[in-house]
Amino acid sequence: MAESAVLLFSWKASKLLARSHIHNYVHLKCCRRCLWALGLVHSHSVHKPEICLVLQSTHLPSADGTRTLSNLYFLKPALSPSESIKKDKYRNKKQKNIGKRKDYSQTKLEKDLILVDKTRKSLVTILEAHVTRMKSIENMLLHPAHASMKPDEHHFQNGGIWHNKSSKAQRELKNASEDYHHAFKEVMKDGVIPLDDNIAFLASANTLITSDIVPHDQCQLPLSSQKQSGDALTADTAEKHLRISGDHLTSVQKSIISQTIGQQNVAQDNRLETFTAFTDFEDGNTDSHIHLSKTAQTDGSSKVHVDEKNMLPAVVALGFNNNLKVFVDACISAKMVARAHATVSYYVKRAQHRPKVNSNVSDVGIFNLVAHAWAKQGNTEKVKEVFRMMREAGVSLNHQSYAAAFECVASQTTTDKTLGKKILSQLEKKGLRVEAIFNNCEFRGDGKEKVFAAIKAIRPTFVPDPPPALKGYSAKLVMHLNEEDMKASGRLDTPYSGLFTKEELIIRGRQQCKAELKGQVAVKSIEWKPPLDSRTIEMRKILEESQKKWKETLHDAFVKNVKILSHKLSSTKVVNVLPFLRVLKAEDYVDIMLQEVRLLAESSETFSPGVQILYRGLGQKVQNRYATQVKINDQLTSKIQKLYSEYLQYFTDVRLTCEKIPREYWQSLLEASPEGPTVDVEEKGWPFHVLTGVGRFLYDILVHELKIDTAALMTSKEKMPKYMPIFYKIFRNVGVQVKEEIKPHPAVVKLFKGAAEEQLLFETNLVPMLSPPIPWSSTKYGGYILSSARLIRLPFMASQQQALLDQAPSNQLYPVFDSLNQLGACPWIINEPILDLVIELFNNKGSVELDVAPPVSECPQLPKILPGMTKEEKANVSKECLAIKRKRAEMYSLWCDALYRLSIADHFRKEVFWFPHNLDFRGRVYPCPPHFNHLGSDVARSILKFAKGQPLGKHGLDWIKIQLINLTGLKKRNPVSERLAFANQMIANILDSADKPMTGSKWWMSSDEPWQTLACCIEVAKATRSPDPDKYICHLPVHQDGSCNGLQHYAALGRDQHGAEQVNLFPFDVPQDVYSGVASMVESLRQKDAESGIEIARVLEGFIKRKVVKQTVMTVVYGVTRYGARLQILRQLKDIPDFPQDYAWKGAGYLVQKTFQSLSEMFTATREIQDWFTECARLISQVRGQPVQWITPLGLPIVQPYYRTVNGAKSVPGVEGKMTRYVLHHGITSEKPNVMKQKNAFPPNYIHSLDSSHMMLTSLHCQRAGISFVSVHDCYWTHPNCVELMNKICRDQFVKLHSEPLLEQLSHFMVDKFSYNERDLPNDGSICDITKQRLNKVLASVPPRGNFNLKNVLESTYFFS
């Protein structure tokens, strides 16, 4: 009888197996780092020596019946992270001493993970048994019936396996197997090892763990069975002969044995069969799942379903093609067409020789770029070569390809009509229409005219298709706006009519274009500086001379280094940084580097960002300059300026504003001007590795080339020149990591500080615009006129969402575009009285109480270690020094933020300006300028007003007073009528605050939002003192804020009556405060615990206030973890003077538990929906291996960009040494979803997409009504006389939004996108099958709803208030 055992896990397997007598096994290797990373050991269990990992028992058939082979191996547990680090350090030191030091982590992974045969992977499952469960089996092993089987203590202590010392012991083990088999069966009850505190997590065979398969001749079926078949074994025949009972083996273990025996055919067929075993633990129950990512198809024997929807290879290929396209585009701009051609050819040929590598050139746009570049030169042969490459790569020609061919014909000295006819014939044979070529292609420069001339010469009667008719909205929620007559929709006015004449706007537009072409805006700093003295003048002169020398040095060094790099990389065809260093003139790079010098010299002395951040930031500045330069090179700037001048008429012509919205008018102008280059051209953003590579190259020059004469800064008369590098590198320990930083030399800091520069420099896309933004009409262009602006702020590597946006029909995204355009078209002005007060306070050491950042000089001085101090006192001083240094860094950051904000505001003091808007990946809207906008703090909001004022009307003054009281936070639980009455009672204090804000009673300073309160006080004073308050022209926005908006959406989704009442979806006479409600419930639970004698409950008596739990309640809906919530509550407890701080941490933990318990009881439906979101995301990312995605109710596709990314670091032939840093390893070897982030982020991200949809719906309907509307997420702003209308629109759109079956639509989308076809499931009871069925079931199982009537929202005063 042949016996087979399967080893599921071995610690240091090579040594263990050498000591054991196991011959038939599936061998899994894993290092302790992987153990800890996968969650297989925990800090509370790694030190317990009795922790063990188990093997399974199997039944194997034989001629004389079935015998049981049960083997149990106890393994030494993995080390804890701290132990692992200590041992690593010891081994590193030992290796260094013997002269063989290596990167231990690298060699360890290679030794423990990289296996003999890398192409074969098998099913592995990792199980951790609980200590108490395994103790029973240990006792069985020590049973007197087999006392000779005691463990070898020496082996156990050294990580060894209990093994049979002799053949006699082996026989005794077999004979005694029946005695302890029942105990083992108890542990394996129901086919799953029960888990209590210790959790066995998912381990992917594709990521950290691979298995080494024993040769098939060591793991075979009984000889009698082989002789009967005479054929090669398969997984089916193995399973058939094994006849494994589910009572003794889990289905995971069955699959292991079947697949191990079936590996013979898999190896012969040279195919890959990979499984991933999952074990999930939740609420004490364990469900085992298995996911097959790719399956070998043996001769009809395999029953496992192939996952055809796994898109990870496609995602990797998409990232590769995007990166290659950026490189080719840069090569063409740098006039390196031959290099671009050679690189594309290299990757096409490489894909043919290495088909498994995800680097196939599959984007037709890459080939078209090269073809157009050759076509402009009239090089027919090269264009033909490009088309041959396309055939080799399996890429079909499209309209753009044939446009390049026609451009090539037209670029020749004499038009070759024969060639042109041949091209035309091929185009039509492919089923393409030549008339559609101009509507389906993008053109640069005079390309369109050349293509038209070529086609016209071949076919004189040629007439291109007219532009396609504009389509209306496709989203159901806004389709009614397609037919709605804007004149009849109650349009009152526009936020911009009457502000300027067309000529004035055109002048402002020219100023904006000029600034964007320059790339920078100089802003005078508002920081107070002493009057100029001789020393300052001298320092400015030294700085000016130094900058001239630096400029010359940088120019020479840049040219020299680019030339060296070009020589070193001349023989390589892979993607590298060289073309990105040639897309601009050398002077432009030098200018950018000089700006970086000043930026670093004026940065914080106590904090420096890591070099990667610096590299990326510098590379981004180069890319922004390049994006503008591309428009100049393509002759696009003149066309855009001409169209923009015509577009500005929209803001002065009331007829146009009534007939069209901004996007429609812009599109009509584009249709009327078809000649010249295409305006909506895709802007090819540089990937992070390109930005980093460019930044690294430039920083290398800055660090190694620039020097400063430190002697010139000395005051002594005799000065011997002494040159020092202006930058140096330091390495700082940050936790367990070493952080590399670049610091300026103190002499450079002294020079810039002494020169006291009066101006701050900002990129033009970081400040507001002087004229209205370009409306978004596609995903490619909008916002700033010439500067770079992206529709969605996608993080690096998030190429999948961008691809979905590009593929979406244009009208699908029109609601999103129009909402952004409406928000961006709102003009603003500065509230000068408030700005003056803030600047005065800022230059007078600021105020922490009023949220005006004080300077670093206000930070306490560092304490000193004095003689005679004890060791403990010295340690306390060191801790205090560290805390003060951190405080200084924080204060300097806040001070710089305030300086930038106030300086920009002062720069636009007398101007009207606009904020262009864009989105984050969830659909939430943000202004593009980061330093100064209405999403900022209390100070930022208080210094902004609408540029166009409106009469207050009948109730406008009342709304300002109500807002004033809302901002103070004094009457949050009182009805609106009482708030208004309280404002009238406090009118004396309000007027005093307006008249004497810094010298009077200062009532406004006690407000929650003091500066906005002061702005309201001033406006109330002006209105009440005007002859007719109803006709007073008010520019101050009035806010209406959602009542815990995230919970409002959850309550509406679940129709949760109790939850809806708590968050004011239900109409009440007084506002309901969910924060106070939760605090009350927590207090009730605390009282019960205090009566039971729990100490911490008694300590917390009298300290559970609304403010303590508010932030946690607010953020729990957005996915805050218990640990994060504990830190939130800890901060609140530390701010309470009377609370005993020794109990702060323990009290925070107690309150977190009670807060979450209270929320679960209060919002039952919310918790069910949140759990469903989490489980769906977990299964999608874990089982499907894909990121979660969905489409918002307004048509915006969303993909969660959370991945575990591994970059392939590959050697490049002919490139050695430091030059390898400039070869861009863009090929991604692995891009898999981060399961933890995917599941934790999906609930808050989906809710954010809903609140954004609600805001956009409100925005679109406010635009139709002609009222000003601006939002700060769930806080809506408008003029005081329009609050009632905006409130009505806001409630109507919320009800309409949630009247749609949102959860059912989400479920249907996920089922269509991620579910398995039921017909393809084997229904064999395997874990693979169970997992897939569970995925299908969960995605389709929409949580039940309550009976809340959404129409109640229409009558709720405090829904938004």
Confidence of residue 104 (pLDDT cuts 50, 70, 90): very low
Confidence of residue 365 (pLDDT cuts 50, 70, 90): very high
* Token pair of 101 as six digits: 């030091």
- pLDDT over 80 (residue 1063): yes
Please tell me which residue, 703 or 1217, carries the higher pLDDT value: 703
pLDDT tens figures, 891-915: 888 999 999 999 999 999 999 999 9
Rounded distance between C-alpha atoms, residue 196 and residue 133, angstroms: 10
* Token pair of 1184 as six digits: 């499907």
Query: Which pLDDT score, from 0 to 100, does residue 186 have?
Result: 40
Rounded distance between C-alpha atoms, residue 752 and residue 603, angstroms: 11
* Mean residue pLDDT across the chain: 76
Confidence of residue 315 (pLDDT cuts 50, 70, 90): low
Query: Which pLDDT score, from 0 to 100, does residue 510 have?
Result: 94
- Which amino acid, one-letter code, is at 971? K
Whether the CB-CB separation of 709 and 721 falls below 8 Å is answered with yes
Query: Which pLDDT score, from 0 to 100, does residue 1021 have?
Result: 95
Query: Which pLDDT score, from 0 to 100, does residue 1286 have?
Result: 94
Overall pTM surpassing 0.85 (yes/no): no
Please tell me which residue, 236 or 1163, carries the higher pLDDT value: 1163
Confidence of residue 114 (pLDDT cuts 50, 70, 90): very low
Residues of the chain with pLDDT > 70, as a percent, come to 73
Query: Which pLDDT score, from 0 to 100, does residue 1329 have?
Result: 85
- pLDDT over 90 (residue 373): yes
Rounded distance between C-alpha atoms, residue 499 and residue 398, angstroms: 48
- Most distant CA atoms of the chain, gap in Å: 111
- pLDDT over 80 (residue 256): no
Q: Which of 1110, 1232, 1237, 1239 is catalytic?
A: 1110
pLDDT tens figures, 1021-1033: 999 999 999 999 9
Rounded distance between C-alpha atoms, residue 831 and residue 845, angstroms: 22
Confidence of residue 88 (pLDDT cuts 50, 70, 90): low
Most confident of 116-120, 165-169, 285-289, 631-635: 631-635
Please tell me which residue, 595 or 152, carries the higher pLDDT value: 595
Mean pLDDT of 797-817: 85
Query: Which pLDDT score, from 0 to 100, does residue 1192 have?
Result: 95
Query: Which pLDDT score, from 0 to 100, does residue 18 have?
Result: 39
pLDDT tens figures, 186-228: 433 333 322 232 222 222 222 222 222 233 333 333 333 333 3
Strands (E), 886-1037: 913-914, 917-920, 925-927, 944-946, 950-951, 1033-1034
* Lowest mean pLDDT, pick from 427-431, 654-658, 1173-1177: 654-658
Query: Which pLDDT score, from 0 to 100, does residue 82 have?
Result: 46
Confidence of residue 5 (pLDDT cuts 50, 70, 90): very low
Query: Which pLDDT score, from 0 to 100, does residue 44 have?
Result: 36
Active site residue 897: no
* Token pair of 590 as six digits: 């030098």
Rounded distance between C-alpha atoms, residue 983 and residue 1013, angstroms: 12
Smallest CA-to-CA distance from 151 within 73, 41, 203, 259 is with 73
Q: Which of 1274, 1296, 1329, 1332 is catalytic?
A: 1274
Active site residue 1110: yes
- pLDDT over 60 (residue 519): yes
Query: Which pLDDT score, from 0 to 100, does residue 92 have?
Result: 53
- pLDDT over 80 (residue 749): yes
Rounded distance between C-alpha atoms, residue 316 and residue 784, angstroms: 32
Mean pLDDT of 471-480: 89
Query: Which pLDDT score, from 0 to 100, does residue 504 have?
Result: 92
Smallest CA-to-CA distance from 1253 within 946, 924, 937 is with 924
pLDDT tens figures, 418-458: 888 899 999 988 889 888 898 889 998 888 999 999 998 88
φ, ψ for residue 1238, nearest 5 deg: -60, -45
pLDDT tens figures, 223-247: 333 333 333 333 333 333 333 333 3
* Lowest mean pLDDT, pick from 279-293, 605-619, 1003-1017, 1124-1138: 279-293
Query: Which pLDDT score, from 0 to 100, does residue 958 have?
Result: 94
Query: Which pLDDT score, from 0 to 100, does residue 1054 have?
Result: 92
Query: Which pLDDT score, from 0 to 100, does residue 234 have?
Result: 35
Confidence of residue 683 (pLDDT cuts 50, 70, 90): confident
pLDDT tens figures, 1087-1137: 888 888 888 888 888 888 888 888 888 887 777 788 888 988 988 888 888
Query: Which pLDDT score, from 0 to 100, does residue 314 have?
Result: 62
Query: Which pLDDT score, from 0 to 100, does residue 1067 have?
Result: 92
- pLDDT over 90 (residue 33): no
Query: Which pLDDT score, from 0 to 100, does residue 144 have?
Result: 39
Confidence of residue 1014 (pLDDT cuts 50, 70, 90): very high
Rounded distance between C-alpha atoms, residue 1128 and residue 934, angstroms: 26
Rounded distance between C-alpha atoms, residue 1329 and residue 1183, angstroms: 11
- pLDDT over 70 (residue 1154): yes
Q: Which of 920, 1041, 1089, 1292 is catalytic?
A: 1041
Mean pLDDT of 7-31: 36
Query: Which pLDDT score, from 0 to 100, does residue 764 have?
Result: 92
Rounded distance between C-alpha atoms, residue 645 and residue 649, angstroms: 7
Query: Which pLDDT score, from 0 to 100, does residue 413 have?
Result: 81
Query: Which pLDDT score, from 0 to 100, does residue 579 have?
Result: 94
Query: Which pLDDT score, from 0 to 100, does residue 356 have?
Result: 60
Active site residue 283: no
Confidence of residue 1165 (pLDDT cuts 50, 70, 90): confident
Sign of the dihedral defined by the CA atoms of residues 151, 152, 156, 161, in that order:
negative
Query: Which pLDDT score, from 0 to 100, does residue 532 have?
Result: 84
Q: Is 128 exposed, middle or buried (0-12, 13-18, 19+ CB in 10 A)?
A: buried
Query: Which pLDDT score, from 0 to 100, does residue 230 have?
Result: 35
Say which residue the tokens 């005006």 belong to: 852
How crowded is residue 1226: how many other Cβ atoms within 10 Å of its Cβ?
20
Query: Which pLDDT score, from 0 to 100, does residue 1222 have?
Result: 60
Whether the CB-CB separation of 1126 and 1149 falls below 8 Å is answered with yes
pLDDT tens figures, 1297-1352: 999 999 999 999 999 999 998 888 888 888 888 888 999 999 999 999 999 999 99
Say which residue the tokens 């101009």 belong to: 438
φ, ψ for residue 1145, nearest 5 deg: -65, -45
Query: Which pLDDT score, from 0 to 100, does residue 192 have?
Result: 31
Query: Which pLDDT score, from 0 to 100, does residue 1140 have?
Result: 86
Residues of the chain with pLDDT > 90, as a percent, come to 39
Query: Which pLDDT score, from 0 to 100, does residue 583 have?
Result: 94
pLDDT tens figures, 577-615: 999 999 999 999 999 999 999 988 888 766 678 888 899
Rounded distance between C-alpha atoms, residue 634 and residue 638, angstroms: 10
Rounded distance between C-alpha atoms, residue 137 and residue 144, angstroms: 14
Query: Which pLDDT score, from 0 to 100, does residue 72 have?
Result: 31
Query: Which pLDDT score, from 0 to 100, does residue 1025 have?
Result: 93
Q: How far from chain centre, in Å, is Cα 1073? A: 33
- pLDDT over 50 (residue 1213): no
pLDDT tens figures, 165-174: 334 444 444 4
- pLDDT over 50 (residue 46): no
